[in-house]
Amino acid sequence: MRDETEREQEVDVEQPGAVADDGVAAHDLAREELEAAYEMARAEIERLQDQVLRRQAELINFRRRVEKERGEIMTVAQAELLEELLPVIDDFERAVGVPPGDVRTLHDGMQLIVRGVRAVLDRLGVERFDPTGEAFDPERHEAIGRQPSAEVPEGHIIEVYQPGYRLRGRLVRPATVVVSFGSDGGEGDGEAGAAAVREGDDG
């Protein structure tokens, strides 16, 4: 009986030490897991930072490449334009060399130059428009004056001082025009056109 009691006491004495060892082991395991997770997170952050730097470098290189290609395209376009204009320049030089008294030859030379310039503009997709007789449109026309007219309705264009130009549908220069305010000083059906002219003048 006494031996059994002593064995129980020995067991009771050993149990607290075993629990403490288990706690230390669990604590060490948790610490190792945290350290491993920390290392993984740090490695992932470094990978992402490296990836960001690579993307930034790629973007910088892409922008430089685009700028270089844009410059090359502009150079090619300018060279093509110059090639188109050189014959016109040659015609100008020949016209300048015409003797002062030879008016007919000079006139023919100037007509040749004008035709050459218009041919170049046509090849470049430039459209020249003359809005004589059209209703004034402040989006396409620029009014420099108004005049009375019995023939041209109020708000319509009497005279074109400078034609307008479009490049592939995009307005390059509005037509500079003189607009009618009618034969009665601006009364009648053309009030909307006159208002458009005033808006164009204000702009």
| Host domain of residue 160 | 129-202
Task: Specify the CATH number for the domain of residue 134.
Answer: 2.30.22.10
- Residue 20 counted as domain residue: no
Specify the pTM.
Answer: 0.55
Please report where in the chains the tokens 């188109």 appear, as a residue.
84
Using DSSP's 3-state secondary structure scheme, residue 160 falls into strand
- Residue 21 counted as domain residue: no
- Residue 58 counted as domain residue: no
| pLDDT tens digits, 78-93 | 888 888 888 888 888 8
Structurally, the chain folds into a number of domains equal to 1
Degrees (nearest 5) of the Cα angle 113, 118, 121?
A: 130
Other CB atoms within 10 A of residue 5 CB: 9
- In angstroms, the first-to-last Cα distance of the chain is 118
- Residue 17 counted as domain residue: no
| pLDDT tens digits, 144-194 | 999 998 899 999 999 999 999 999 889 999 999 999 988 865 444 444 444
- Residue 174 counted as domain residue: yes
